[in-house]
Chain A
Amino acid sequence: MSLFQYEYMQLALLSALVIGLTAPALGIYLVQRRLALIGDGIGHVALTGVGAGLLFQTSPVIMAVIAATIGAILIELIRERGRTSGDLALALLFYGGIAGGVVLVGLSDSTSAHLNAYLFGALSTTSRGDVVTIVVLGTAVLLTMIGLRPALFAICHDEEYARVSGLPVRALNLLLAITTAITVTIAMRAVGVLLISALMVVPVATAQQVTRGFRSTMAAAMALGLFAGGAGIWMAALADTAPGASVVVVAIASFVVVTVLAVGWRRIRRVRPHPAPTPEPHEVVLNGS
């Protein structure tokens, strides 16, 4: 544990804990809406921002926030319009984003190590200023996700019903898109563009193996994210592995362990936790409605 006496390790730990807590709190809404991989896509777009930041000698993180936000809003507008061409449009945005990023980084004088830091994360080179940004933005996103839980749950669970309830559905969708962009960008420093979705999605996937409600899933996913963040950094410090990848490895290991335990538990109990839904007698002939 002596490694944590160094400031850079303390900063790395703090960032990982904040991101570990925030990413699943947002990710649960994305999973519920079947947009589990959206974080990945927005990460690709953010990379163009990083490239632009490196090329024009401005802050890559701020440029990434801008690029990711524009990308997220575009994706949301495409999603809203309809689903047929959306798939393809998303693909264009994703690959355009990563290609643009690589080209821009190439044009600038940065080394490939610099690009690697954004692709796979570089917590140990995170500055105090970066950590302040991560803590402030992460806390803002976290409070939004918790405070607006009923409304965000409603739009992700049944968007048409939310509309008929008079909720500002479009504003909430855009809010979700923008907070996703912010989370992706701050998580980029820790786990890297290529692994961001993992922290948003894997703790949720783990939690829902054992939970019964949305609120309990959210709480459990946040706890698991926090654990993955802390244990991942500790493992990285001990074994000198890449911090971002270590955090994700811990998250996925938790998923495997919890899944095996949950399956085993159900086997042992033999009785399922709930009576299976009783098949319904066909009182009514459906005309395929």
Chain B
Amino acid sequence: MTPDVITVTHGVVGYDGRPVLRDVSLNVTTGEVVAVLGANGSGKSTLIRAILGLVPLSAGQVTLFGRPIRQFRQWHRVGYVPQRLGAGSGVPATVAEVVAAGRLSRRGILRPPGRVDRAAVAEALRAVGLADRAKDPVTTLSGGQQQRTLIARALAGRPEVLILDEPTAGVDAVSQEAFADALREFTDSGGTVLLVAHELGPLRPLISRAIVVHQGLVVHDGAVPEPAGHHAAPDHDHVHPHGPEEPAGLWSAQ
């Protein structure tokens, strides 16, 4: 049996007393590419944040590479891609500078960047197709290119597992393809992926398993549900990506 990379056992998360994840259990083993699907407000982003230790569990347990999250220290094995680049403050930063932050998990904070780090940054930029933009300020990039910058940042640390929060939401077709290529390259070399999405698009052929979250519970864990018509969502109305919005207030804090 292949070793577990991520496990969640009866995970419960609540914000201000309101339960968001009610009782979630899942596992991701080495080499799998798992998609977590669900509507807005289903708790899928919270699930990702709980796995990364960014929100505390009120019950249950998360392990990464076999270690409980509180004791996990090998963060260089994990590459995290958030939903978007922070709002930014006006201080310019080049694409290469943002991507170089991905090397800190390997290098630590005291050692200055060396040749290995620069090579890893260049390689990550090539993988997402942004090598020619390395010296440009990130703010001059399109939304899709900024998203690819964040993926390059995660790849630069040479992680074993990539955890991505809505990597293709609102991203143009060119960037989606470039992103799918980068992900394929990563999984071909043995990488494990857990990603949250509500539409898979060009990623679909890469996904080995899908987990559908609805109202804080796992309602499906297995083959990727077949899309009905142009709806790239499982045959549940409640995960319909174009469905009526649930109150967004809960998520606006993120």
Contact = CB atoms under 8 A, between A and B. Distances in A.
Interface of A: 28, 31-34, 147-148, 150-151, 153-154, 157-158, 160-168, 172, 204, 208, 211-215, 217, 274-289
A150 to B, nearest CB: 6
Given A154-B101, A208-B90, A211-B92, A284 B109 contact: no
B136 A165 contact: no
Given A157-B86, A213-B137, A287 B40 contact: yes
Interface string B45-82: 10000001110000000000000000001111010101
Interface stretch (B4-12, B140-148, B208-216): B140-148
A289 B251 contact: yes
Nearest to B198: A287
Given A157-B86, A166-B75, A289-B166, A283 B93 contact: no
B140 A277 contact: yes
B101 A161 contact: yes
24 contacts: A147-B110, A150-B107, A157-B93, A157-B98, A158-B85, A161-B82, A164-B53, A164-B80, A166-B75, A208-B92, A213-B92, A213-B135, A214-B93, A274-B136, A274-B140, A278-B142, A280-B171, A283-B171, A283-B173, A283-B201, A288-B40, A288-B245, A289-B83, A289-B169
Contacts of B153: 161
B132 to A, nearest CB: 12
Contacts of B142: 277-280
A284 B94 contact: no
A213 B54 CA distance: 29
Contacts of B80: 161, 164-165
Interface in B101-115: 101-105, 107, 109-110, 112-113
Contact of B245 (A154, A157, A165, A287): A287
Contacts of B135: 212-213
B154 to A, nearest CB: 9
Contact of A158 (B74, B101, B107, B172): B101
A157 B101 contact: yes
Nearest to B165: A289
Given A158-B101, A212-B137, A281 B173 contact: yes
A166 B78 CA distance: 10
A73 to B, nearest CB: 20
A150 B113 contact: yes
B253 to A, nearest CB: 10
B89 interface: yes
Contacts of A286: 169-170
Nearest to B39: A287
Nearest to A163: B54
B242 interface: yes
A154 B104 contact: yes
B63 to A, nearest CB: 16
Given A148-B109, A287-B245, A212 B91 contact: no
Nearest to A149: B112
B136 A212 contact: yes
Query: Which 6 pairs between the two chains have the least Cβ-Cβ distance?
Result: A166-B75, A151-B109, A213-B94, A165-B105, A274-B140, A280-B172
A167 B108 CA distance: 7
A33 B241 contact: no
A168 B104 CA distance: 11
B100 interface: yes
B157 interface: yes
B149 to A, nearest CB: 11
A285 B39 CA distance: 12
A289 B143 contact: no
Identify which of A34, A163, A289 gathers the most chain B CB atoms within 10 Å of its CB: A289
B192 interface: no
Contacts of B157: 165
A162 B52 CA distance: 12
B75 A165 contact: yes
Contacts of A161: 80, 82, 101, 153
B64 to A, nearest CB: 11
A276 B144 CA distance: 14
Given A157-B86, A213-B94, A287-B243, 13 more contacts: A33-B89, A147-B112, A154-B104, A164-B54, A165-B104, A167-B105, A172-B109, A214-B91, A274-B137, A277-B143, A280-B144, A283-B176, A288-B245
